[in-house]
Structure 1
Amino acid sequence: MCGIFAYLNYNVARERRHILEVLFNGLRRLEYRGYDSSGIAIDADPTPADSSSSSSSPSPPMVFRQEGKIESLVGSVYREVDAADVDLERAFLVHAGIAHTRWATHGVPAPRNSHPQSSGGGNEFLVVHNGIITNYEVLKETLIRHGFTFESETDTEVIPKLAKFVYDKACEGGQSVTFSQVVKEVMRQLEGAYALIFKSPHYPNELIACKRGSTLILGVKELTDEKSCATLYHDVKALTKNGEPKELFFSSDLCAIVEHTKNYLSIEDNEVVHIKDGCVSILKFDYGKETPASVQRALSVLEMEVEQIKKGKYDHFMQKEIHEQPHSLTTTMRGRLKDSNVVLGGLKDHLRTIRHSRRIVFIGCGTSYNAALAARPFFEELSGIPVTMEIASDLLDRQGPIYREDTAVFVSQSGETADTLIALEYALENGAMCVGITNTVGSTLARKTHCGVHINAGCEIGVASTKAYTSQIVAMSMMALAIGDDRISTQSRRAAIINGLSELPNKVREVLKLDSEMRDLAESLIDSESLLVFGRGYNYATALEGALKVKEVALMHSEGMLAGEMKHGPLALVDETLPIIVIATRDACFSKQQSVIQQLHARKGRLIVMCSEGDATSVCPSGSCRVIEVPQSEDCLQPVLNIIPLQLLAYHLTVLRGYDVDQPRNLAKSVTTQ
């Protein structure tokens, strides 16, 4: 999973220094998607065609690649251009630059494995890539037989070399070939998931992007008067006809374009977007047809604000996003809770089908799976439909049965998680009703499911998901309420949950006041090697998610465990040094958790108990354990409150241990590789 970005200015002069900074800032916005290496490609100064002519021809693009984080690339680029006496003040009326930040899949982090990947000497074709090419080894062997030499260990390098092979073959046959024809033939050979941006000196001032399975966005900024802009933004068709000054952006995430424009287009699978002479053409690639069809689609208006991609008063994005949860929960519920009813526009036309399902299958990965697990108990209770859980990769490995009578609910913060999307294709092939729960409008998940709920939690940049998790639980609770609103037996329960939802943001604000207390707890655990978290019932998912947060950002071994299974193995680990968090807030499992605490205490366990306000003496009468008190909510909504102290604990543990909380080792966000 990587971040790709491109910037093209047309009929508006931009200095090379400005172009570099736009590319660098684009990568900074995408760095959460990959931060082991990065690179950019920009134009060099044109060179005279010959000594007797005043005309000029394009020079090979300048390519800069560097291991490490974005700032390492920035420093190396400015050192290199200074050493080469490159004029940073030179203005370009038209210029196309591409950029990439990498999360290593094929090959170690190193400049040779960084993008842009090149076709070879002269950088005749350059490519930045997000995704994975599954048949790259076969393509590589073929290209080697045709004389190509490979320098990297990546799957991406076959793409620019394949483009050069296609271009050279056409030229040898005396044919002229357009950039889009080259890319179309490359796409015909590729298997896997990808979003690609191509740049070539054979086609100066042009960019081509295409995608299959990975997100790619086109941003459009018209530099004309506002009334003209309104007309142009209404339809992409206008962009194919006018030569007005404009700036165009490709990005694998909306957060990289929001500071430039709010007008964007989500590129669909198998679309080729060609920018030439300031015009945008969109072609739909069809493997069965020689000539792709032209496509016209409307632009969308981005609702995100620039402030969402900035840290503001906080030291880290994860800290900011934890503290934004009262707001994110409010926006998730806004306009959807009306008196005693729940209105979900994305589901209303499909509720009858869902109610007649034989079962509901929740499918997700990581944090999204945990959110679905938290929702499962009340989903069954309110809908009366059996609910099963599937980790997306395991469902695919087993080829588990999915039936036409099933409703499959796919949960993903980004809407681009590879395993989840492949599981979605599998469920669609088997005829299931497919519902999406995602935070990302225009994502692949949102487009390919039959219906769904946008959780509306706002941009989440920290790799460790926090506010999306709690908003997912709330979104699924509203979904359960909507499905079950025709059941008379649950009306009083529904009313209590709706009331609990309305109170939830204020109760989250109260929980966030535990911040300093959780920092003190983190200080006491800083030297611990492991942490166990016990939960059950509604809070089994809380135990799993809390342990996952500690694991992924604090780089500390932690395990979430079902408390009912404690006697079947985990009890052997208990001693006076191993910290154990027990979640024992008031619900149907409270007395059972009291018993768990007694058993752990009898074995001199180092106990930290999370309980409801006022229950400290009930859960720890001897005062021998550390107690975290949280407000009490409706039992099925309690996981939303209970996870927040554990998020804060993970955050403070990470900072105190000296690790990067927003960019944890070996991890990146919205993983789009299998």
Structure 2
Amino acid sequence: MCGIFAYLNYNVERERRYILEVLLNGLRRLEYRGYDSSGIAIDSDLDAVEVSLKEAPYESAFPLVFRQEGKIESLVGSVYAEVDAMDLNLEKPFSVHAGIAHTRWATHGVPSPRNSHPQSSGAWNEFIVVHNGIITNYEVLKETLIRNGFNFESETDTEVIPKLAKFVFDKAHEAGQTVTFSQVVFEVMRQLEGAYALIFKSPHYPNELIACKRGSTLILGVKELTDISNSGALFHDVKALTTNGQPKELFFSSDLCAIVEHTKNYLAIEDSEVVHIKDGCVSVLKFDYDKEKPASVQRALSVLEMEVEQIKKGNYDHFMQKEIHEQPHSLTTTMRGRLKHNSVLLGGLKEHMKTIRHSRRIVFIGCGTSYNAALAARPILEELSSIPVTMEIASDLLDRQGPIYREDTAVFVSQSGETADTLLALEYALENGALCVGITNTVGSTLARKTHCGIHINAGCEIGVASTKAYTSQIVVMVMMALAIGADRISTQARREDIINGLSDLPNQVSEVLKLDREMKDLAESLINLESLLVFGRGYNYATALEGALKVKEVALMHSEGMLAGEMKHGPLALVDETLPIIVVATRDSCFSKQQSVIQQLHARKGRLIVLCSKGDAQSVCPGRSCRIIEVPQVADCLQPVVNIIPLQLLAYHLTVLRGYNVDQPRNLAKSVTTQ
């Protein structure tokens, strides 16, 4: 779960300082994917290494690699310090230059400069690589390379990749063969097992870049620097880039958010595709283990529907704060064009709706917050469709090899669309013949491409590691999915109309809840020194309890547990005393009277209660105001989890800030869990 970025300018003059800033800023946009170390690679000046080049195995510029432990700004400071020390000319212009960059979330080896990327083949940096993913057979490859005279400096699995590239190159050279950059990369890919996105740079092939992927996200961004108003086909076909020779800037990135400020024209690279940039030309080749020569692939560019403002904090102090307060807008965009005259239109499911309605069961599969969102939507889907709905945590499904049948509809929920366990579960479900539906926030993601059909939640870019607006939009999308599946049932017509009316007004209700910001900060101040928090919910709001506790846990670094209130007397009641804060979600739904009973029992045991209830219910849930009350608007029961989670998101945010932690970059976590 790292971030990789690359920038190549062709036939357009850019100073070295500009190139550095593009690379470093690309890493800033990707820092949510990993922030324990980072690095970049650019070209030196030929005259700066003139003496050394007499011994170098190539005649092009020597690649400079800068690596540093810590946040991106640590790298920025060290890069400019090193540049000054070596008297490197930052004003030198390049008409063509290829640079690569990486921000790391450690998997193999502790955070340190030697374990940071780019990783090198050794002396002279003949091959350097940035990598997102895990190479599962790296130990075997490492042993083979050591036997062939290679020395390893890092603890990473990545280091075998550039060394393997040099091994392939040297063998060909010794045999008197000329080998192309793409041929080297193809041979390396034949040896690698695991999930990866890779970008290669080599002075043997100056001003070229090669990218490839298997399982991890990789995006190509294209910016033409000429007037294209009369050449509409130019951005339709990537192949057109191989023929025009026009000035252009090309980008590789792990995420669209790092290229949106440069261009909106992009290509989501598919698994086993190799993208080779040479002389300003882009070649897309398909790697196949069974074929010696790769096939050329014709791909179309897409246009990114994202604005630069979405990746900036604006007037907010943190991205998490911004994204919490963006929820009225994200919910509006999620529903836009989908609610029509008391009906729901989901074009992504239209062709498969008959199959879904005749499913033996619907299986929701996800991890973390996405799993919780599906759990919140399960009751309404069961009610409106009368189809059994089961829940699966992706990793547990894989561990058990749980049964998935051809008659099942498997719904995969993932904000990024790249969650490793969810994607592995998707492969498992496809192998077993189930209809696979994807629900994701990321256009062009692996989940979006590999499922049979799906729904884009359209919540906008989410940069804070702790998911907030994606969670509420996921719930709304799954409620709309339930409405669409049950649209053929006359008996539920009135119920569906009430929910649709509630959806239309939901953004306004969420705006009302956000006015609790100051109140939740006050509550956070009263909890700042405590070590634990319990959240009780049931029915629709069992998911609210789980998600609220998860938010506090992942950003405020405070122990918190979400619990099913119906299980209170089967163990958790033993924890209750006058010091442990307990949040009880008790808004109006079919479980309301049961939650009133839970509150009474907790109160009888002197529990320190915080009750989240519907407006006007304070006296009925907590006579005498013996509890701390949080009042929220009442909406349709299946939509109440959207409203109820927001005070808990605000609580988690304020707890984190007051406790002095980084709310956007929690300890040990990163945004897109693309590795196991």
TM range (shorter): over 0.9
| Maintained 8 Å contact 2:53/2:59 | no
Matching residue's letter, 2:650: L
- Give the Cα separation in 1 of the matches to 2:196 and 2:602: 50
| Maintained 8 Å contact 1:49/1:57 | no
- Equivalent positions of 1:74-93 (< 5 A) are 74-93=76-95
- Give the Cα separation in 2 of the matches to 1:634 and 1:548: 24
Give the corresponding residue for 1:38. Answer: 38
CA offset at residue 230 of structure 1?
Answer: 3.3
- Give the Cα separation in 2 of the matches to 1:581 and 1:609: 6
Aligned with 2:306: secondary structure?
Answer: coil
Give the corresponding residue for 2:609. Answer: 607
Give the corresponding residue for 1:58. Answer: 60
| Maintained 8 Å contact 1:45/1:58 | no
Structure 1 residue runs of 5 or longer lacking an equivalent are: none
TM-score, normalised via structure 2 length: 0.98
- Equivalent positions of 1:194-205 (< 5 A) are 194-205=196-207
Aligned with 2:438: secondary structure?
Answer: strand
**2:488 paired residue among 470, 486, 489:** 486
- Equivalent positions of 1:506-517 (< 5 A) are 506-517=508-519
> CA separation of 1:666/1:49 partners in 2, compared to 1, >3 Å: closer, same or farther?
closer
CA offset at residue 223 of structure 1?
Answer: 0.6
Give the corresponding residue for 1:428. Answer: 430
CA offset at residue 229 of structure 1?
Answer: 5.7
Give the corresponding residue for 1:555. Answer: 557
Aligned with 1:98: secondary structure?
Answer: strand
Aligned with 1:321: secondary structure?
Answer: helix
Give the corresponding residue for 2:501. Answer: 499
Cα-to-partner distance string for 1:545-600 (whole Å, 9 max, x where unaligned)? 00000000000000000000000000000000000000000000000000000000
**2:117 paired residue among 98, 115, 118:** 115
Give the corresponding residue for 1:319. Answer: 321
Cα-to-partner distance string for 1:45-81 (whole Å, 9 max, x where unaligned)? 124879999xx93132000000000000000000000
Aligned with 2:351: secondary structure?
Answer: coil
CA offset at residue 297 of structure 1?
Answer: 1.1
Give the corresponding residue for 2:345. Answer: 343
- Give the Cα separation in 2 of the matches to 1:237 and 1:265: 12
CA offset at residue 192 of structure 1?
Answer: 0.6
| Maintained 8 Å contact 1:2/1:102 | yes
CA offset at residue 234 of structure 1?
Answer: 1.8
Give the corresponding residue for 1:10. Answer: 10
Cα-to-partner distance string for 1:8-40 (whole Å, 9 max, x where unaligned)? 000111000000000000000000000000000
1:300 partnered with 2:296: no
- Give the Cα separation in 2 of the matches to 1:169 and 1:52: 22
Matching residue's letter, 1:532: L
CA offset at residue 231 of structure 1?
Answer: 3.3
Give the corresponding residue for 1:400. Answer: 402
Give the corresponding residue for 1:182. Answer: 184
- Give the Cα separation in 2 of the matches to 1:150 and 1:95: 28
Give the corresponding residue for 2:173. Answer: 171
| Maintained 8 Å contact 1:4/1:99 | yes
- Give the Cα separation in 2 of the matches to 1:51 and 1:528: 60
Give the corresponding residue for 2:641. Answer: 639
1:67 partnered with 2:55: no
- Give the Cα separation in 1 of the matches to 2:95 and 2:232: 24
| Maintained 8 Å contact 2:338/2:346 | yes
Give the corresponding residue for 1:519. Answer: 521
- Give the Cα separation in 1 of the matches to 2:412 and 2:183: 36
- Give the Cα separation in 2 of the matches to 1:49 and 1:647: 58
- Give the Cα separation in 2 of the matches to 1:50 and 1:613: 78
Give the corresponding residue for 1:580. Answer: 582
- Give the Cα separation in 2 of the matches to 1:347 and 1:52: 60
| Maintained 8 Å contact 2:228/2:234 | no
1:106 partnered with 2:108: yes
- Give the Cα separation in 1 of the matches to 2:11 and 2:609: 66
Matching residue's letter, 1:368: S
1:275 partnered with 2:240: no
Cα-to-partner distance string for 1:159-195 (whole Å, 9 max, x where unaligned)? 0000000000000000000000000000111111100
Cα-to-partner distance string for 1:490-549 (whole Å, 9 max, x where unaligned)? 111111111110010000000000000000000000001000000000000000000000
- Equivalent positions of 1:411-490 (< 5 A) are 411-490=413-492
**1:252 paired residue among 235, 251, 254:** 254
Cα-to-partner distance string for 1:377-399 (whole Å, 9 max, x where unaligned)? 00100111000000000000000
- Give the Cα separation in 2 of the matches to 1:154 and 1:107: 6
Cα-to-partner distance string for 1:110-140 (whole Å, 9 max, x where unaligned)? 0011000000111000000001111111111
Give the corresponding residue for 1:20. Answer: 20
| Maintained 8 Å contact 1:576/1:605 | yes
Give the corresponding residue for 1:672. Answer: 674
Give the corresponding residue for 1:265. Answer: 267
Cα-to-partner distance string for 1:317-375 (whole Å, 9 max, x where unaligned)? 00000000000000000000001110000000000000110000000000000000000
- Give the Cα separation in 2 of the matches to 1:240 and 1:419: 37
Aligned with 1:260: secondary structure?
Answer: coil
Matching residue's letter, 2:64: M
Matching residue's letter, 1:479: M
Give the corresponding residue for 1:237. Answer: 239
- Give the Cα separation in 1 of the matches to 2:558 and 2:435: 40
Matching residue's letter, 1:341: S
Deviating runs (4+, > 2 A) in structure 1? 47-53, 228-231
Mean Cα displacement is larger for which, 142-151 or 547-556? Answer: 142-151
- Give the Cα separation in 2 of the matches to 1:528 and 1:143: 52
- Give the Cα separation in 1 of the matches to 2:78 and 2:230: 41
Cα-to-partner distance string for 1:634-656 (whole Å, 9 max, x where unaligned)? 00110000000000000000000
- Give the Cα separation in 2 of the matches to 1:170 and 1:108: 35
Give the corresponding residue for 1:363. Answer: 365
- Give the Cα separation in 1 of the matches to 2:233 and 2:348: 28
- Give the Cα separation in 2 of the matches to 1:51 and 1:285: 37
> CA separation of 1:201/1:633 partners in 2, compared to 1, >3 Å: closer, same or farther?
same
Mean Cα displacement is larger for which, 57-66 or 580-589? Answer: 57-66
**1:546 paired residue among 545, 548, 555:** 548
- Give the Cα separation in 2 of the matches to 1:117 and 1:52: 21
Matching residue's letter, 2:21: E
Aligned with 1:411: secondary structure?
Answer: strand
Identity of aligned residues (%): 87
- Give the Cα separation in 2 of the matches to 1:617 and 1:290: 75
Mean Cα displacement is larger for which, 463-472 or 42-51? Answer: 42-51
| Maintained 8 Å contact 1:222/1:229 | no
TM-score, normalised via structure 1 length: 0.99
CA offset at residue 623 of structure 1?
Answer: 1.2
CA offset at residue 226 of structure 1?
Answer: 3.2
Matching residue's letter, 2:35: Y
**2:534 paired residue among 532, 535, 557:** 532
| Maintained 8 Å contact 1:466/1:647 | yes
Mean Cα displacement is larger for which, 44-53 or 107-116? Answer: 44-53
Matching residue's letter, 2:449: R
Give the corresponding residue for 1:652. Answer: 654
Structure 2 residue runs of 5 or longer lacking an equivalent are: none
The number of residues matched between the two structures is 672
